[in-house]
Amino acid sequence: MPSATELAAAVRAGTTTAAELVERHLAAIDAREGEIHAFNHVLTEAARERAARIDEQAARGDDPGPLAGITVALKDNMCTRGVPTTCSSRILEGWRPPYDATVVRTLHAAGAVVVGKTNLDEFAMGSSTENSAFGPTRNPHDTSRVPGGSSGGSAAAVAAGFAHFGLGSDTGGSIRQPAALCGVVGVKPTYGYVSRYGLIAFASSLDQIGPFTTSVHDAALVLDVIGGHDPLDSTSIPREHPRLVDSVGQGVEGLRIGRITDLPAGADPDVEARLEAAFDALTAQGATVVDVQVPAFTFGLTAYYLIAPAEASSNLARYDGVRYGLRVDAPDTNSMYSATREAGFGEEVKRRIMLGTYALSAGYYDAYYGKALKVRRLIHDDFERAYAHADVLLTPTSPSVAFPFGAKGDNPLAMYLCDTYTIPTNLAGHAGMTVPFGTGAEGLPVGVQVLAGTLREPTMFRVAAALERAMEGGGR
């Protein structure tokens, strides 16, 4: 399949058209969307109109941008002006944002075409996309199984060929875990690498936007487009980022690949086997494997499920039935608040709001939330010590391949354990990505996770590209 770079160049040169690319993906959506349900909204006519304008630009000799005619599926928690943005929740019923998120504006300026808004676990809270108010998304590789979450719609859309690439948000693994289960590349950049302006917040100190693609090169291209400082986001890193597409072909000769010797157990044997094969593949290309320790890694899940719900309980307080979205009428204001939130939020969102409110309450703040923040610092410091000895770290992305619907829904803890290997990186604010690296049980995709320190994306992409080359070369 041609890369996004090649296709955009063809659109600019006039050897193909944006309209042709868009129609190809709309046809794929027509063929399988009813089976997969990757989208909450398919923007058929808007995508066609946008493609026509891009083709007019190219015909005039103007440059539509580095993503000319390239289609994108946006997670439905990114504001798009005049288009329903629901977070897959009833609480935002009828709301159409009056502005675009920064990433949406940036993609538009680069010539990309939005084909739809994708399904997710409600307010990005989940690991299977079973928590959506609009029904689950199904894994394109096996529709009896989940695509992962919370960005399962974007991952499934890319895996099914509904769009060239997707955007998701990653708070504790919500890009990397579904990417691994759907067999695509998924990137969570360093916190602050991509603007969060217009991303509807779950946990503001953890959320980060990143791409889903079918190749490492395309992931680098998309991140080069959407990355950079944004004065509208106070957490945006105020510096220029190096071009990641220049890193993809540099190889791994001389790099140190860290094996975490005290990594929490729990990955299935087929996943562990693929991780070992990844170490071997990098060694064969000139890298050196070194043993490192990250002692606080094992506390990531516990700390996360205090910090993230605490932030969520604050962020979601704005949904009260007064200013926008759903409103359930009641005799008085307090009753209206209660009735609206009871009707508008799903069970998992309510669970996390209550957990977060409890952790922040008087008498418990220091014992729970305050202690979790100290653990977060320990995790960050342990990672920093590991990166003094290794350029990147390799771990499983998900403990297992995609699991059947309903397998974990009745046991929240079992679902939370899906993010064992991804959460610590969010707490540290570091970079991480997953690369498809063969298959495991039932022939389903397995992803290997590449982790790197703050703003070490160029090195991370070098390693990811080497793993991809190993698979293209017949790696087993």
The CA-atom distances, in angstroms, between 257 and each of 87, 132, 283, 389 are 37, 38, 9, 9
Q: What is the dihedral of CA 369, 260, 169, 129, to 10 degrees?
A: -90
**Cα–Cα distance measured from residue 216 to residue 227, given in angstroms and rounded to the nearest whole number:** 16
Q: Name the one residue in this structure whose structure tokens are 């609480």.
A: 91
- Give the β-pairing of 71-75 and 113-118: parallel
**Cα–Cα distance measured from residue 383 to residue 371, given in angstroms and rounded to the nearest whole number:** 19
Name the residue type at position 402. A
Tell me whether residue 361 is one of the annotated catalytic residues.
no
**Cα–Cα distance measured from residue 162 to residue 115, given in angstroms and rounded to the nearest whole number:** 8
Catalytic residue selected from 88, 89, 132, 150: 150
Tell me whether residue 174 is one of the annotated catalytic residues.
yes
* Cβ count within 10 A of residue 414: 13
Q: Which two tokens stand for residue 208?
A: 């980060």
Q: Tell me how long the chain is.
A: 476
Catalytic residue selected from 174, 313, 398, 400: 174
Tell me whether residue 371 is one of the annotated catalytic residues.
no
Q: Name the one residue in this structure whose structure tokens are 């320990």.
A: 378
**Cα–Cα distance measured from residue 136 to residue 152, given in angstroms and rounded to the nearest whole number:** 9
Catalytic residue ranges: 75, 150, 174
